[in-house]
Structure 1
Amino acid sequence: MLVVDDEWAIAEVLEDVLGDDGYRVSVANNGKEGIGRALSDKPDLILLDYMMPVLDGPKTLEALALDERLRDIPVIMMSSLPEQTVRERCSGYVVFLRKPFLIGDVLLAIQKVLSPK
């Protein structure tokens, strides 16, 4: 699993909690770094922040979709903006999490995405 978020506290908490829950987690603090980590780590899931420096969430989603090695990785988009606003500006994510979120909501979203259909 890959967490891409420029807010270090959020990334660190997600890394710790998800690691304690048995997930192997790597962290990137912008979209450019996230794409590099995705290529090297081959995550099953990406938790992606919407607003970041260097390469934001929408541009990262575009880059993931254009790369045949990465396009099938599901993405959970995270933002303090309302989902309607995010959805108007980008697509390609499978679940939206509004910040601030409860860790239980994060775990449920991950289970929803990763559980067999």
Structure 2
Amino acid sequence: MKKILVVDDEFDILTTWRLILEMEGYEVTTASNGRVALESARANPPDLVITDWMMPHMDGVAFIRELAANDSLAQVPVILMSAAAHAPTLEHGNAQFRRKPLSIDDLLDLVKHKLGEA
């Protein structure tokens, strides 16, 4: 089963994405900030990361930078989401930015493009 790590400090978003992705057949783990997500990714490397940008303790851009610096996680594709007006510079070869709000259909299309069917 393909594993996805979803990271967001908003509980409702985190829960919604998790439920939707699980219904599609993916194994989903969640984290509420980048620091917790980094620990989770190191312990159980995901096949894809979906993360928010603005979070406490470690934001999404810093989290992505840490993933890129880790040999075993640098190739994991990442989708960074934010309602911010501008896209950040991402120091990761396989990361892309998407603006919130993102529809469920758009999210599933992105996931299937990155991972294929569950």
TM-score > 0.5, shorter chain as reference: yes
Q: Which has the higher helix share?
A: 1
Mind listing any 5+ residue stretches in structure 2 that lack a counterpart?
none
Structure 1 stretches lacking a partner, 5+ long: none
**Identical residues among aligned pairs (%):** 36
The one-letter amino acid paired with 1:17 is I
**2:25 aligned partner:** 22
| Stretches (4+) displaced over 6 A | none
In proportion to residue count, which structure has more strand? 2
Q: Structure 2 counterpart of 1:66, which letter? A: A
* 2:73 aligned partner, one-letter code: L
- For residues 53-64 of structure 1, the aligned pairs below 5 Å read 53-64=56-67
Where do residues 1-117 of structure 1 align in structure 2 (5 Å cutoff)?
Answer: 1-82=4-85, 85-87=86-88, 89-92=89-92, 93-115=94-116
> Structure 2: which amino acid aligns with 1:43?
P
Give, in whole Å, the separation in 1 of the partners of 2:90 and 2:98: 14
Higher relative contact order, structure no. (Cα contacts within 8 Å, ≥ 6 residues apart): 2
CA distance in 2, matches of 1:101, 1:73: 21
Matched residue type, 1:99: K
The residue type equivalent to 2:10 in the other structure is E
- Asked if 1 retains the 8 angstrom alpha-carbon contact of 2:68 and 2:91, the reply is no
Distance in 1, matches of 2:91 and 2:66, equals: 12
| One-letter code aligned to 1:90 | L
TM-score by length of 2: 0.88
2-side partners of 1:114 and 1:94: how far apart?
14
